[in-house]
Structure 1
Amino acid sequence: MSYQIYSHVLPSATPGTQRILKAHHFGEAGARPKVYFQAGLHADEWPGFLVLNTLLRQLKKADDAGLIQGEIVIVPVANPIGLAQNFHGYIPGRFAFSDGGGNFNRNWPQLGAKVEKRIKGDVTGDIESNIDLVRQAIHEELALLPETTELQGMKKTLLALSMDADELIDLHCSGEASMHAYVAQEFEGHFKPLLALLGAKVGLSELETGAASFDETNVSVWRDLKAHYAHLIPWGSRSLTVELRGENDISNEFAEQDAQALFDYLVLREVIAGKSPAIDDSDVEYYPLDAMDLVKAPCAGIVCYHKAIGEEVEAGEVIGEVVNLMDDDVETSSYPLVARTNGVFFARVQRRLVVCGESIAKIAGREHLAFREIGKLFED
């Protein structure tokens, strides 16, 4: 048996308080491939909690049977800071209240330039040695990151657990949505089997979002280095963000289904011994992130949708309406939500009371939209 649980204590934010990150480890340390999972970085997104809890039970059985060949690290609750934001039963959990605030999944430390400076002059024609060289440099740079505050400590710990992984899978969800994922363009083919196993038909393909999100940060070092060294430094890490449907899509049935998909993927990647699953990925389609239409509320009010999640839409089609409760004339108080692209209506906010100008629905399109700015493709 190789199963170990480690508790990582975060710096105390206030006297008498202390939070931990609990990491579950399977396989021998340093075994390859290494795959890292986490859930709940946005602490208001909970489906991944149950999925990883279910996956842990499956992995314990596989470990007892001696089937773990690589290394697996799972952090089922990645953001205890956000989970503590409990206001009369409501957990906002998306933005930090300390360290300047901000989205928990934005502006993570970027180490590419520092790692490149550290390895300069030591890169050789031996690709495997170069991978080890980069991972060691990453390890040394991570050790220098500050951990004075609770949030700094959380970020540093999560990066230390994940940045030497061959693959990283970050579990999130949307308000109401079909299963989908955000995938770097370079990894579309690599992760297509995973999307197929999860039943995701929509993949949002990105190159550089400008968000410095957790999953991007794990691969940004390698992307930066490849710009300098090309084939001499291959991808030492691949990552993606999986959106596990909507906030309320939580059930034992979904958890079993999704955990089995993740387990099968680990078999496919030979992290776990077993017969590789048969995969039909013909329904998986990638859509450029800069072709995604963010449908905005034309006024404040109550939103009603005319189209269902997963339906195809056409540019100019009305997908819903917002009723302005303050209009004098109730006969003309409904304002249409108009699609600006052909594609798939795949996500929307769960709230039905919306604010003027906020993005309330997402349509995955196929053609670049002029109003979508490269480098600023995510909204908080």
Structure 2
Amino acid sequence: MSYQIYSHVLPSATPGTQRILKAHHFGEAGARPKVYFHAGLHADEWPGFLVLNTLIKLLKKADDAGLIQGEIIIVPVANPIGLAQNFHGYIPGRFAFSDGGGNFNRNWPQLGAKVEKRIKDDITDDSVENLLLIRKAIQNELILLPETTELQGMKKTLLALSMDADEVIDLHCSGEASMHAYVAQEFESHFKPLLALLGARVGLSEVETGASSFDETNVSVWRDLKGQYSNLIPWGSRSLTVELRGENDISNEFAQQDADALFSYLVLRGVVGGDLPVIDDSQVEYFPLDAMDLVKAPCAGIVCYHKAIGEEVEVGELIGEVVNLMDDDVDTSRYPLIARTNGVFFARVQRRLVVCGESIAKIAGKEHLAFRESGHLFED
């Protein structure tokens, strides 16, 4: 048996308080392939908690049977700081209240330039040796990251657990949505089997979002170095963000279904022994992130949708309307939501009271939209 649990204590934010990150480890340390999972980095997104709890059960059985061949690290609750934002039963959990605030999944430390400075004189023609060299340099840079504050400590710990993994799978969810994922353009074919196993029809293909999110940070070093050294540098890490449907899509049935899919993926990648899954990825389709229409609320009010999640829409089509409760004339108080692209209506906010100008729905399209600015593809 190789299963172990490690608790990582974060710096104390205030006297008498202490938070921990609990990491579940399977396999021998240093075994390959290594895959890292976590859930709840946005602490208001909870489906991944139950999915990873269920996956751990499956992996414990596999471990007892001697089937763990690589290394697996699972942090089922990645953001105890955000979970502590409990206001009379409401947990906002998406933005930090300290360290200048900001989205918990934005502006993670970027190590590319520092790593390149460490390794530039030692790069050889041997890509395997280069991979080991870079991983060592990343480790050395991670040690130097500050951990004075609770948030710094959390980010440093999660990166230390994940940045030497061959694959990083970050579990999130949307307000209301079909299963989908954000995948770096370079990894579309690699992760297509995972999307198929999860039943995701929509993959949002990224190049560079400008968000410095957790999953992007894990691959940014390799992307930066490959830009300079080309084929001398292999992909030492591949990552993606999986959106596990909507906030309320939480059940034992969904958790078992999704955990089974993740387990099958680990078998496919040789991390766990077993019969290879049969995969039909014909329903998986990638859509460029800069072609995704963010539907804006034209006014404040109550939103009513005419289209269901997963439906195809056409440019110019009415997908819903917002009722302005402050208009004098109730007969003309409904303002249309119009699709600006042909594609799939795959996500929307859960609450029905919306704020003027906010993005309340997403349509995955194929054609670049002029108002979508590369490098600023996420708004929050």
TM-score band, normalised by the shorter chain? over 0.9
Counting only pairs closer than 5 Å after superposition, residues 80-119 of structure 1 correspond to structure 2 as 80-119=80-119
The equivalent of 1:317 in structure 2 is 317
Partner residue, 1:192 = 192
Q: Tell me by how many angstroms 1:126 deviates.
A: 1.0
Q: What is the SS of the residue equivalent to 2:113?
A: helix
How does 1:62-141 map onto structure 2 within 5 Å?
Answer: 62-141=62-141
Q: In the alignment, which residue of structure 1 is the partner of 2:38? A: 38
Q: Which amino acid aligns with 1:373?
A: E
- CA-to-partner distance for each residue in 1:157-191, whole Å, 9 max, x for gaps? 00000000000000000000000000000000000
Counterpart position of 1:341: 341
How do 1:141-180 and structure 2 match up within 5 A?
141-180=141-180
Deviation digits for residues 331-357 of structure 1 (CA, Å, limit 9, x no counterpart) = 000000000000000000001000000
Identity fraction in percent: 88
User: What TM-score, normalized to structure 2?
Assistant: 1.00
Give the structure-1-normalised TM-score: 1.00
Counterpart for residue 268 of structure 2: 268
CA distance in 2, matches of 1:22, 1:379: 30
2:304 is equivalent to residue 281 of structure 1: no
| Partner Cα distance (2:30, 2:128) in 1 | 14
* SS of aligned partner of 1:230: helix
What code does the residue aligned with 2:244 have?
Answer: L
Aligned pair 1:303/2:337, yes or no? no
2: CA distance, partners of 1:276 / 1:266:
10
Tell me how far 1:260 sits from its aligned partner. Answer: 0.1
Q: Does 1:220 align with 2:216?
A: no
2:120 & 2:184 partners in 1: Cα distance? 26
Secondary structure of 2:35 counterpart:
strand
Q: Secondary structure at the residue paired with 2:171?
A: strand
Q: 1:301, CA displacement in angstroms?
A: 0.2
Indicate the SS of the match to 2:337.
strand
> For 1:314 and 1:155, how far apart are their aligned partners in 2?
41
Question: Using the alignment, how far apart are the partners of 1:123 and 1:173 within structure 2?
Answer: 40
- The alpha-carbon deviation at position 205 of structure 1 amounts to 0.1
Instruction: Provide the secondary structure at the position in 2 that maps to 1:42.
Output: coil
Partner SS for 1:186: helix
- Give CA-to-partner distance per residue, 1:246-297, whole Å, 9 cap, x none: 0000000000000000000000000001111000000000000000000000
Q: Aligned partners of 1:77 and 1:89: how far apart in 2?
A: 18
Describe the SS at the equivalent of 1:307.
coil
1:291 maps to which residue? 291
SS at match of 1:298: coil
Q: Partners in 1 of 2:58 and 2:275 — Cα distance? A: 16
Q: Give me the CA root mean square deviation.
A: 0.2
For structure 2, the 5+ residue unaligned runs are none
SS in 2 for 1:204: strand
- Alpha-carbon distance between aligned partners in 2 of 1:120 and 1:373, rounded to the nearest angstrom: 33
Shift of 1:379: 1.0
Deviations 1:62-101 (A, max 9, x none): 0000000000000000000000000000000000000000
Code of the residue aligned with 1:368 in structure 2: it is H
- In the TM superposition, residue 377 of structure 1 has moved relative to its aligned partner by 0.1
User: Could you tell me how far 1:221 is from its partner in structure 2?
Assistant: 0.2
| Offset from partner CA, 1:295-330 (integer Å, 9 cap, x none) | 000000000000000000000000000000000000
**Residues in 2 aligned to 1:243 and 1:19: alpha-carbon distance in whole angstroms:** 26
Instruction: Give the letter aligned to residue 71 of structure 1.
Output: E
* Separation of aligned partners in 1, 2:234 and 2:317: 44
- 1:207 maps to a residue whose letter is V
Aligned to 2:52: 52
Give, in whole Å, the separation in 2 of the partners of 1:53 and 1:273: 20
**1:373 counterpart = 2:373:** yes
Q: Deviations over 1:20-77 (max 9, x none)?
A: 0000000000000000000000000000000000000000000000000000000000
- Which 5+ residue runs of structure 1 have no aligned equivalent? none
Partner SS, residue 23 of structure 1: strand
List structure 1 segments (4+ residues) > 2 angstroms apart after TM superposition.
none
Q: Counterparts of 2:21 and 2:47 in 1: how far apart (Å)? A: 18
In structure 1, distance between residues paired with 2:286 and 2:99? 36
> 2: CA distance between counterparts of 1:123 and 1:69?
30
SS of 1:309's partner is coil
Tell me the secondary structure at the aligned position of residue 8 of structure 1: strand
